[in-house]
Amino acid sequence: MTISTAAWEGRKLLRTARVGTLATVSAGQPFGSLVTPALAADLSVLLLLSDLSEHTRHLRAEPRCSVLVVGTQADANPQTTPRITITGLAEVVDDAVLKARYLAVHPYASVYAGFSDFSLWRIRPANGLYVGGFGRAARLGSTILLPDPRAVATIDAEASDIIARYNADHAAALAVIAGRPGDWQIVAVDVDGCDLANGEQVVRVHWTTPAADASQVCNELAGLARGAGAG
């Protein structure tokens, strides 16, 4: 497994994850908590946390932390399960765009997202460790793991237009891409893929390769619709 392959697989796993383990520290003692992450366009991990939670108190005192997410177990041996751990510094962010991104993949959270004791936190990955299965591990620095910032900015600038256009004009194609019936809508687009939602059902769809611009995003969507239709 090459480093570039590990980075791509790790990014896809991060963007697909809807649950993970947050590791914080309090007075030198590690503490693990179940969290529900979402990923910003630049691969920052977003968490909606209550001020009443133990791990939130830990982060306010010590922002150094890690997040572990796991994929699907390949066979009876749990060590075959792909997983990635990222480390970084957590910070509270007051950003409507990032909050909307979080709620796009966790729509049920809108019930409590406006509560005064809930805040959006961002963890910018500093380093990562990807394990693709038994004996397949790679350490990933941020320069390897993170997407090209120019591509992130370019696609982000046109994401709203892409989403609006496809949701208005290609409803049937979106159901094909999602791989299941329903009124599917694109709710997020980034360099690595897109998220589609049907009510509180949300699925992640990956591009064949990281996109460099909006044109490549549109090509990927068209290719996914053709490929799924053919299947």
Task: Output the domain CATH number for residue 210.
Answer: 3.20.180.10
Other CB atoms within 10 A of residue 209 CB: 11
Residue 58 pLDDT more than 90? yes
Residue 117 sits in the same domain as residue 169: no
Domain holding 41, by residue range, is: 3-145
> What stretches of the chain show up as alpha helix (H) in DSSP?
3-16, 54-61, 96-105, 142-145, 149-169, 171-178, 214-230
pLDDT class of 228 with cuts at 50, 70, 90: low
Q: What are phi and psi of 90, to 5 degrees?
A: -90, 140
Query: What CATH number is attached to the domain comprising 96?
Result: 2.30.110.10
- CA-CA distance, 165 to 73, in Å (whole number)? 37
Radius of gyration of the CA atoms of the chain, in A: 18
Residue 230: its pLDDT value, please?
39
Mean pLDDT, all residues of the chain: 94
Structurally, the chain folds into a number of domains equal to: 2
Boundary residue ending a domain (92, 113, 145): 145
Whether 162 and 168 have beta carbons less than 8 Å apart is answered as no
Residue 31 sits in the same domain as residue 70: yes
